[in-house]
Chains A and B, each alone.
Chain A
Amino acid sequence: MEPPKGKLIYRQEKIKDILGDIGIAGETVIPSAARTIEELTQLGVMKGYSTIVAVGGESLINKIINILATQKISKDAVLGIIPNDFESLIAKKINVGDLRSACNALKFRRLETIDICQIEPNKFFITEAIVENPKNRQIYFSLDTMAGSAQTNQIIIKPGLNIYMHDKALEGNAFSRFISWLLSRKEKDIFSSFFQTKKARFESENANLPIKVSGETIAKTPATLYNRPRMLKIIVARDKIK
């Protein structure tokens, strides 16, 4: 669990109550200066816990994934998630909309083996990473069998190593966008790129651009990324009945 502060204190008590109500018991640990989240995860796995539940934001969840993905002993460990924000990508990924549904998902324990993305040497993420720059910048990249360059201000990288590149400056200036809006004219987007690959490397000219996951910088360019297929088992909610 994330260290409690502000509203989280009440929230964490509520999570413990719900888990108790539905019959889920376990050891609760909170990272501190003495024990980091990575150390606590490692301890949990070494104690033989089959499920590690991350209660917190994506930063905490990614730190746990870093351990589960890199430690050989944790190969069979399953990750359960109770996110702080139910509008977040991670909440959507596990298909939970509120605290109760996240706790119920743990109870029903529907497992899904997912791809994760690795940024060399040892950073992992399961939602998306963004390389963003306010201005357009020349980015050099290599993808499996080819190398290239692009003027781009945003690169979005998703598991499966799906790469979206967008070139903002070439969309036109505010006036041309206004005219298009006025005439209800939708310009065809010819400046976006999409690639799917197993390995990608990004370099930027004269700068180290941050690679952010949920707003937190976890690496900087130049960086090499890999797709790690079916590497992590996570607990997801049952499909909603439509």
Chain B
Amino acid sequence: MIGEKRPGASGPGTVVGANVKLVGTLQDANDIVIHGRIEGEVVSNQTISVMETAYIKGPVSGDVVNIAGKIRGSITATGRLEILPTGKIFGSIASKDLSIKSGAIFVGKCTMPEGEKEAEEQEETPEQPKKQNETYEVE
């Protein structure tokens, strides 16, 4: 496993330069910044930044995921997922907090677990319709 650092430590844990090609699982307890090309899984407990020059073929999973590059694969963000104007995603995404900027390309299925939960709750307990013709007796 790459980068077993102190939990909660800040700063870039792994930086993949623009002229680097990787095959395999890139896993880090810290932030991951990708400028290069990866074929395989990318996993972090913190922020994953996929920069403009980056290309990832495989699943990406992190707390906060920022995408300005190209990804072919599923993306799971336990926190926030942001697709920037230069971002291109071909695959499914799952996040509770999603932002897609104008110009971004997203081809795939989007799942929002929190939103689904909320929708289910609303279906189970529909709001009581207000009584239309209530009359009050005044002495």
B15 to chain A, nearest CB (A): 4
Total CB contacts across the A-B interface at under 8 A? 73
Closest to B3 in A: A196
Main secondary structure on A side of the interface with B: strand
Closest to B24 in A: A146
Q: How far is the CA of A170 from the CA of B18 in the complex (A)?
A: 9
Size bracket, chain A contacts = 20 to 34
Closest to A160 in B: B5
In the complex, are the beta carbons of A191 and B3 less than 8 A apart? no
Which parts of A187-218 form the interface with B (CB within 8 Å)? 190-198
In the complex, are the beta carbons of A147 and B23 less than 8 A apart? yes
In the complex, are the beta carbons of B19 and A146 less than 8 A apart? no
Query: Which of B1, B4, B12, B15 counts the most A-chain CB atoms under 10 A from its CB?
Result: B15
B45 within 8 A of A: no
B94 within 8 A of A: no
B41 to chain A, nearest CB (A): 9
Which parts of A167-199 form the interface with B (CB within 8 Å)? 167, 170, 190-198
A11 to chain B, nearest CB (A): 40
Q: How far is the CA of A194 from the CA of B33 in the complex (A)?
A: 9
B20 within 8 A of A: yes
In the complex, are the beta carbons of A145 and B15 less than 8 A apart? no
B28 to chain A, nearest CB (A): 8
In the complex, are the beta carbons of B36 and A193 less than 8 A apart? yes
In the complex, are the beta carbons of A167 and B19 less than 8 A apart? yes
Chain A residues with CB under 8 Å of B19's CB are 150-152, 167, 170, 191
A40 within 8 A of B: no
Q: Kindly identify which residue among B14, B21, B51 contacts A195, using a CB–CB cutoff of 8 Å.
A: B14
Size bracket, chain B contacts = 20 to 34
Closest to B17 in A: A193
B86 within 8 A of A: no
Q: Mark A140-167, 1 if CB is under 8 A from B, else 0.
A: 0001111111111000000000000101
In the complex, are the beta carbons of B20 and A146 less than 8 A apart? no
In the complex, are the beta carbons of A190 and B53 less than 8 A apart? yes
In the complex, are the beta carbons of A146 and B2 less than 8 A apart? yes
B38 to chain A, nearest CB (A): 8
In the complex, are the beta carbons of B2 and A144 less than 8 A apart? yes
Closest to A194 in B: B15
B92 within 8 A of A: no
Chain B residues with CB under 8 Å of A193's CB are 15-17, 20, 36
B52 to chain A, nearest CB (A): 9
B27 within 8 A of A: yes
Q: Which 4 A-B pairs have the closest CB atoms?
A: A146-B24, A193-B17, A148-B22, A196-B3
A interface residues with partner B (beta carbon < 8 Å): 143-152, 165, 167, 170, 190-198
B interface residues with partner A (beta carbon < 8 Å): 1-5, 12-28, 35-36, 40, 51, 53
